[in-house]
């Protein structure tokens, strides 16, 4: 169990730096306010990585994304940004503290022992079935959508074609191919060896996992697939070389740029939307900056303009979407989204929590996410089922991009988690144990 003094030191420094950043921002020293939070985020991340010997430690990833992202937003490099409401500052603080309370509460269940994945042919066979099944299903659904909608986003001249390529209920299966690379990592770990048929199947499935996001012009799905696989690899093989990570990042940059071009978003168009104070700033800096910083600005817009809370309706959207109730009761899912600009629609993970319940909502939701993160980390240590790493990997991506979107109010997130749960049961199902239990009864 971690010592109380360590916890006080870690969160005490955060509170001090946060207060100093708030004062600096009020005084108009935006660069100072932002740099302090970014440095604090990096410090805490490195501290927890050193403590756990895990580059993908969930608390560290959340800190880097949430505190570091807020620090970038505090720099105020765009004319779209303005001073935040005091309630916004209070919410961002409560979110991080709430996550920490939920996470630290789970420390009582901590254990240094971790079960390692070994060679298990039965599990490997079932993982291969999952890989092939996902690939065939995703490809079939993609072809169905393309035939029904009569276009493929990659070959369309419409700037927002990727947003319109969606057949309700079917698209969830189309994009599920992004799980394949991570499952392949698990298969390689537990498999005794690869025959020609297995190699061919894996290559075809992983090509599918890359081709479909490219055809959909979805940068996020492509980055998610790669990031998910990298996190899984780090967890399963206990680390990865920084040179390898740098190589993966370098390989993704040209693909990212090409997909941006196929979205027909040229530099003039993007600069016109981002409204950077320094207009000559390179687009490869301004685009990721806005995609991080403006989410916090959208949160502030909501805090200032929201007139009444929706008491759970927004956070229940996945339930309405997956059950089809959104078509029966469309008013349930119709609510204003407060944005700095119509084109910049991404939000933070906690946008809907505030929309529903205000400050108590973001604090409680953050605490629940923190407790869930700790529980998943413990599950990875105790479970012999390799699919547990898929839960960990998805949560790592969601926390590592906490600034980016309302993950747990997104039906796709829950669809992937449900799909992962089904694979967990299928891969871990033991007929012998099942039979023994029945005979003992």
Average pLDDT over residues 324-345: 88
Say which residues have a Cβ less than 8 Å from residue 96's Cβ, sequence separation at least 6: 14, 18, 63, 66, 67, 366
**Contact status, residue 233 vs residue 240, Cβ threshold 8 Å:** yes
Which of 49-63, 196-210, 259-273, 314-328 shows the lowest mean pLDDT across its residues? 259-273
Is 255 or 90 the better-scoring residue by pLDDT?
A: 90
What are the φ/ψ torsions at residue 78 (nearest 5 degrees)? -115, 150
Residue 224: inside a domain: yes
Q: Under a CB-based contact definition with an 8 Å cutoff, are residues 9 and 51 in contact?
A: no
Distance CA 408, CA 349 (A): 7
Cβ(180)–Cβ(209) under 8 Å? yes
Q: Burial level of 230, CB count in 10 A (0-12/13-18/19+)?
A: buried
pLDDT per position as a tens digit, 188-197: 999 988 889 9
pLDDT (mean) for 295-313 = 96
Kindly report the CA angle at 214 between 211 and 216, in degrees rounded to 5? 110
Domain encompassing residue 211? 123-267+369-388+415-435
DSSP state of 431: H
pLDDT 10s digits, 215-239: 998 888 988 998 899 999 988 887 6
In this predicted structure, the answer to whether residue 427 has a pLDDT above a threshold of 50 is yes
pLDDT digits 0-9 by tens, 145-187: 999 999 999 888 776 778 889 999 999 999 999 999 999 999 9
Helix (H, G, I), strand (E, B) or coil at 363: helix
CB 13 within 8 A of CB 63: no
Q: How many residues does the chain have?
A: 441
Residue 172 lies in a domain: yes
Distance CA 228, CA 105 (A): 27
What is the SS3 assignment for 78?
strand
Residue 363 forms part of a structural domain: no
Predicted pLDDT at 263: 63
- pTM exceeds 0.85 for this model: yes
What is the Cα–Cα distance from 319 to 322, expressed in whole angstroms?
5
> What's the mean per-residue pLDDT of the chain?
89
Q: Which residues are registered as beta bridge partners of 276? A: 78
* 147 domain residue, yes or no: yes
Share of the chain above pLDDT 90, in %: 65
DSSP-derived letter for residue 388 is H
CB 332 within 8 A of CB 314: no
* Side-chain half-sphere CA neighbours of 389 within 13 A: 32
Pinpoint the alpha helices (H) of 75-120. 86-105
For residues 269-276, give the mean pLDDT.
83
Q: How far apart are the C-alpha atoms of 111 and 41, rounded to whole Å?
A: 26
Count how many domains the chain has: 1
- Is residue 181 within 8 Å of 199, Cβ to Cβ? no
313 is a domain residue: no
Is residue 89 included in any domain, yes or no?
Answer: no
Tell me what the mean pLDDT of segment 130-148 comes to.
97
- pLDDT, greater one: 131 or 260: 131
Which residue, 296, 297, 298, 290, is CA-closest to 337? 298
Which token pair is 350? Answer: 């906690």
Residue 181 lies in a domain: yes
Residue 247 lies in a domain: yes
CA–CA dist 201, 191 (Å, integer): 14
Q: Mind listing the pLDDT tens digit for each residue in 84-125?
A: 999 999 999 999 999 999 998 865 544 556 667 778 889 999
Residue 377 sits at φ, ψ, to 5 deg, of -65, -40
């Amino acid at each position: 169990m971690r010592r109380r003094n360590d916890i006080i030191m870690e969160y005490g420094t955060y509170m001090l730096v946060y207060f100093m950043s708030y004062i600096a921002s009020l005084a108009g020293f935006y660069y100072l306010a932002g740099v302090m939070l970014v440095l604090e985020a990096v410090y805490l991340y490195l501290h927890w990585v050193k403590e756990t010997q895990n580059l993908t430690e969930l608390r560290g990833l959340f800190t880097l994304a949430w505190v570091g992202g807020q620090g970038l937003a505090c720099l105020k490099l765009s004319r779209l940004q303005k001073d935040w409401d005091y309630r916004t500052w209070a919410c961002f603080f409560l979110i991080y503290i709430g996550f920490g309370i939920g996470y630290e509460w789970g420390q009582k269940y901590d254990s240094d022992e971790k079960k390692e994945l070994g060679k298990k042919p039965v599990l490997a066979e079932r993982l291969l079935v999952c890989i092939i099944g996902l690939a065939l299903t995703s490809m079939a659904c993609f072809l169905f959508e393309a035939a029904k909608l009569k276009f493929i986003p990659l070959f369309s001249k419409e700037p927002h074609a990727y947003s319109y390529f969606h057949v309700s209920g079917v698209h969830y299966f189309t994009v599920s191919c992004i799980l394949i690379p991570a499952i392949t990592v698990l298969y390689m770990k537990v498999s005794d060896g690869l025959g020609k048929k297995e190699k061919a199947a894996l290559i075809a499935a992983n090509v599918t996992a890359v081709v479909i996001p490219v055809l959909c012009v979805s940068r996020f799905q492509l980055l998610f697939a790669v990031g998910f696989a990298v996190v899984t690899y780090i967890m399963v093989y206990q680390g990865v070389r920084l040179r390898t990570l740098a190589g993966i990042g370098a390989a993704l940059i040209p693909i990212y740029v090409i997909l941006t071009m196929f979205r027909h978003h040229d530099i003039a168009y993007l600069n016109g939307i981002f409204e950077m104070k320094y207009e000559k700033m390179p687009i490869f800096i301004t685009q990721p900056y806005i995609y991080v910083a403006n989410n916090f600005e959208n949160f502030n817009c909501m805090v200032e303009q929201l007139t009444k809370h929706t008491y759970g309706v927004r956070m229940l959207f996945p339930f309405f979407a997956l059950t089809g109730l959104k078509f029966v009761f469309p008013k349930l899912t119709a609510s204003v989204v407060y944005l700095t600009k119509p084109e910049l629609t991404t939000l933070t993970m906690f946008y809907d929590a505030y929309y529903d319940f205000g400050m108590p909502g973001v604090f409680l939701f953050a605490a629940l996410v923190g407790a869930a993160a700790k529980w998943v980390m413990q599950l990875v240590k105790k479970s012999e089922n390799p699919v547990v790493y898929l839960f960990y990997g998805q949560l790592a991506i969601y926390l590592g991009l906490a600034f980016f979107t309302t993950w747990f109010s997104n039906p796709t997130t829950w669809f992937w988690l449900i799909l992962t749960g089904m694979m967990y049961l299928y891969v871990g199902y033991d007929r012998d144990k099942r039979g023994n239990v029945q005979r003992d009864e």
